[in-house]
Structure 1
Amino acid sequence: MFITEDFLLDTGWSRKLYHEIAADLPIIDYHAHLPPADIAGRKTFRNIAELWLGRGNAGDHYKWRLMRASGVPERLITGDADDRDRFLAFCRVLPLAAGNPILHWSHLELKRIFGINTVINAETGPRLWDEVNEQLAGMDTWSFLTQARVEVSCTTDDPADDLAAHAALARSDLSTRVLPAYRPDKAMRIDADAFPAYLEQLGRTANVGIDSFASLVRALTARIDFFHDHGARASDHAVDVPLPTTIPDDATVERLFARRLAGETLTAEERSGYVAALLLHLGRAYARKGWTMCLHIGALRNTNSRGLAVRGPDTGYDAIAEMTIAAPLARLLDALDSENLLPKTMLFCLNPTMNAMLSVLTGCFQDGSVAGKLQFGPAWWFNDHKDGNLEQMRVLASHGVLGTFVGMVTDSRSFASFPRHDYFRRLLCRLLGRWVEDGEYPADLDALATIVRGVSHGNAKSYFGL
């Protein structure tokens, strides 16, 4: 049988730690992309194709990439083909994906959410279509959260958002706390064509006329206060450009900002200077609020111009970037630390060649005020697979303290993605169990249980103040 109760658990200690400690812990998913309006509106899914594949530019780009690589025509992926045909196309190609985490995740989702142990393939696809859809008819977005025992789910929200859906959820009977997270990427992308229009939108929302860099900072700070009142305790930034060797002063950034509003095109160096300066100001604001600053580093976005033009961003055309980040990032962190305004910070790494560098860098700014104040974030995106998760935990353990790690996140737009926490917990217990079996860690159940409970749930709750 595939995906047994002992899936990924290869020692007696790993099985003990998982089944007795990790399996039934609630979930804190502190970084995801679930639409809060879909949660507030208790969205339902007409069938498994909508849940798993979506359509257009709204769906699971992990599965889309797998299908494209298997030769499936786009009309059966994001196009106008019949939903049943799209689902069956996915079922046909999934058996080809040996070693791909989507093979594991899809079967875990069937088992954990729907109680179905069937192997997914061309033969079983038609039966799965009927069985899953029958259950989906009685489910909505709340069902996925409560069934998975999600204690807290943090969405990703623009500073200009009115957070009306979050306010509605706070008044609702949903047992899961759904909290916003602050993602000011549109304010950081000074080179975007829509940047001036976005400043107008943000200014109206913050009741601040934005005609300078200083006024932009005021507007963003006002929205941090608004988000904080709605439960936000973390920010999220995509660091997709190399940071500068020197952070420009405010007078220099004001001149850059004025030139951009006048319609000029800034150089790559000027754009990176603007990003660093804005991060410096926002980092100070986060520290004053007790927030965590999350930096997602190393994405090369929208590589396929034809795909981008047809389907838009976040549709499966991003890749791993090569960039020089160590010294510039250290300067940013040091600038904040020198003012005693370095917030709790998480460094997420898309390029695995940066793992050791970022993990070691976090140790340079620990100050004893918070356990794991700087975190080497979980295996993210293209690293979120068996080997990637194990390697991330090994690297973190080699350079820091695994027991202070705040654990994994789905980073997903799919309401079916919560079994990925189960996947991660099995790998955590596998790693610890192997160390015990190999004589590299004492056979101390209490100590091991403390690590497992913390990494799986408790550390995130404490770290983010949830």
Structure 2
Amino acid sequence: MKPFIDRNFMLNTGTAARLFHDYAETLPIIDYHCHISPKEIYEDRRYRNLSEIWLGGRNPDGSYFGDHYKWRLMRSAGFPERVVTGDADPYEKFAAFAETLAMAPGNPMVVWSHLELQRYFGITEPLTKETMREIWDRSSDMLQNDPSLSVRGIIRKSSLRYIGTTDDPTDTLEWHEKLAAEPDAGFLVCPSFRPDKALNITKPDFPEYMKKLAASVGKESLRSTREVIDALYQRIDFFKAHGCRASDHGLDYFMYRPAPLSVCDEALRAVLCGKAIAQENAEAYQTALLSALAAKYRREHIVMELHYSCSRDNNRRMFLAEGPDTGYDMIRKTVSGDNMAAFFSDLEARDELPRTIVFSLDDSDFRQIVTTLGCFQSEEIPGKMQLGAAWWFQDTKAGNLKQISDLAELGLLGSFVGMLTDSRSFLSYTRHEYFRRLLCRYLGELVENGEYPDHEPALRTLVENICYYNAARYFEL
């Protein structure tokens, strides 16, 4: 029997172990998509205990910070909301999470949590009912007193080179400005442009958001699609001046319905007057905006990230009580391939197709995405069109291996830009290690099965590029 999370865990061949330890293990990290706070980085926040940094709590505005992955598991274990996201004692929350982990064999949260305990606290014993008090006391003392466990300390300890945060177009980016004004911190933090609220024309808060977007560009209102596009263009310029290298779009599904701007304007005016609109008119407006944004990204050398096949906030009662991003989302089945291909084809014909990364929450989409993207590759850069890393519910052992193998079999694995955390936790950088071990496992099996040459220079190049250098080139770092 192998020890729990030893030096070679998940590295099931000698080749895999060699590739990981010789090449992947010590490479820096480019975390190009996450949800951590630039304010906390600037202020170098110090968490007091594992409950705060793992499970979070409420922000002053009533929203939550924390990890909804963990909250979902704790609810499944039967713990009340008071213990999950409520006002229970921090140790009570931590103890509930420890008990939950004991019920979760096969869930990546078990490995992630123990990797974090090992890498940041030097704690190698499993988190159990018997050890949780000692682990709590030891980690709390380190979080409060160890200089390497402030937010910036954690980032440096993790060998981060680049962090791409997720920011609304109306954001003032004041914390990014303050970070940029400091002497070299050893890592780069840049905003990523996330205009979902401007595209979500059927959402109840859309009219209010239009006022906020208008105010951000010095206008009282935005009354046409062209004015909305121009406002977003101004904000992209503002983001670009603050180092923006990527945009992100969370789509329920991949829509594509080209229509004259007059149709889009009619839909916009109706919604602003409180009227309902047909789905096809909403899709026409969304298509016009997304197409215009893609063209702007192309001109500004900004990567376009597209996430889809997610159904959000499915528990109405809990959404009203707790708000979005609190763990009530699920995989959505969509029919998106034809629309995606048509969208890319029209952009490519006008030379307006930017570097693009496509993520789906449904792993049955992976092979369709890879073959679609293969129709639009370019000499501009290897892998201009990318199948994104295994995202969210796919960020498991099986999900990562499926993403890697689907890309390898139908695309070009060597041009892949690798992993991201998509996280709200500063300890989650061990997910890059998790991915790197699985990548080396996949390559090691090919070599030892005689399916790829045991040629060290080629293997080293593959590992180092996928883990670091491809992303550095892709995001122009």
TM-score tier by shorter-chain length is over 0.9
Aligned to 1:389: 400
Say if 1:207 and 1:219, in contact at 8 Å, map to a contact too. Answer: no
Same amino acid, percent of matched pairs:
42
Say if 2:255 and 2:336, in contact at 8 Å, map to a contact too. Answer: yes
SS in 2 for 1:310: helix
Aligned to 2:456: 445
1:260-315 Cα deviation digits (max 9, x unpaired): 22221112222222212111010000001111110001100000011111111000
Aligned to 1:456: 467
Structure 1 counterpart of 2:431, which letter? R
Give distance in 2, aligned partners of 1:268 and 1:414. 36
Aligned to 1:49: 51
After the TM superposition, which residues 112-131 of structure 1 pair with which residues of structure 2 at under 5 Å, given as runs?
Answer: 112-131=119-138
CA drift of 1:192 comes to 2.0
Say if 2:44 and 2:151, in contact at 8 Å, map to a contact too. Answer: yes
SS in 1 for 2:440: helix
SS in 1 for 2:223: coil
Give distance in 2, aligned partners of 1:419 and 1:82. 27
Give distance in 1, aligned partners of 2:65 and 2:281. 33
Give distance in 2, aligned partners of 1:242 and 1:179. 27
Aligned to 2:305: 294
Structure 1 counterpart of 2:49, which letter? N
Give distance in 1, aligned partners of 2:416 and 2:366. 15
Give distance in 1, aligned partners of 2:280 and 2:224. 20
SS in 2 for 1:178: strand
Structure 2 counterpart of 1:270, which letter? N
CA drift of 1:353 comes to 1.1
1:441-462 Cα deviation digits (max 9, x unpaired): 0001110110100110000010
1:374-415 Cα deviation digits (max 9, x unpaired): 001100000001010010000001111101000010000011
Pair 1:321-2:332 in alignment: yes
SS in 2 for 1:359: helix
Aligned to 1:227: 239
CA drift of 1:77 comes to 1.0
Aligned to 1:370: 381
SS in 2 for 1:172: coil
Pair 1:237-2:249 in alignment: yes
Structure 2 counterpart of 1:422, which letter? E
Say if 1:6 and 1:15, in contact at 8 Å, map to a contact too. Answer: yes
Match for residue 156 of structure 2 among 131, 146, 159: 146
Pair 1:82-2:89 in alignment: yes
1:8-49 Cα deviation digits (max 9, x unpaired): 101111010000000000000000000111111211112110
Say if 2:254 and 2:308, in contact at 8 Å, map to a contact too. Answer: no
Question: Larger deviation: 263-272 or 421-430?
Answer: 263-272
Match for residue 78 of structure 2 among 71, 78, 83: 71
Say if 1:46 and 1:136, in contact at 8 Å, map to a contact too. Answer: yes
Structure 2 counterpart of 1:141, which letter? V
Aligned length: 465
After the TM superposition, which residues 389-428 of structure 1 pair with which residues of structure 2 at under 5 Å, given as runs?
Answer: 389-428=400-439
Give distance in 2, aligned partners of 1:83 and 1:462. 42
Match for residue 253 of structure 1 among 252, 264, 283: 264
After the TM superposition, which residues 243-282 of structure 1 pair with which residues of structure 2 at under 5 Å, given as runs?
Answer: 243-244=255-256, 246-282=257-293
SS in 1 for 2:417: coil
Structure 1 counterpart of 2:232, which letter? L
1:82-112 Cα deviation digits (max 9, x unpaired): 0001101111121111000000000000011
Give distance in 1, aligned partners of 2:264 and 2:253. 17
CA drift of 1:175 comes to 1.5
After the TM superposition, which residues 421-436 of structure 1 pair with which residues of structure 2 at under 5 Å, given as runs?
Answer: 421-436=432-447
Moved >6 Å (runs of 4+): none
Give distance in 1, aligned partners of 2:70 and 2:98. 11
Say if 1:242 and 1:272, in contact at 8 Å, map to a contact too. Answer: no
Say if 1:43 and 1:140, in contact at 8 Å, map to a contact too. Answer: yes
Structure 2 counterpart of 1:127, which letter? E
Say if 1:363 and 1:400, in contact at 8 Å, map to a contact too. Answer: yes
CA drift of 1:242 comes to 4.7
Structure 1 counterpart of 2:452, which letter? Y
CA RMSD of aligned residues (A): 1.1
TM-score by length of 2: 0.96
After the TM superposition, which residues 178-193 of structure 1 pair with which residues of structure 2 at under 5 Å, given as runs?
Answer: 178-193=189-204
Give distance in 1, aligned partners of 2:270 and 2:69. 39
Structure 1 counterpart of 2:195, which letter? P
- Structure 2: 5+ residue runs without aligned partners? 59-63
Pair 1:60-2:67 in alignment: yes
Give distance in 2, aligned partners of 1:271 and 1:241. 13
Aligned to 2:109: 102
Give distance in 1, aligned partners of 2:143 and 2:380. 46
TM-score by length of 1: 0.98
Aligned to 1:4: 6
Give distance in 1, aligned partners of 2:262 and 2:280. 16
Match for residue 358 of structure 2 among 347, 350, 356: 347
Give distance in 1, aligned partners of 2:427 and 2:474. 26
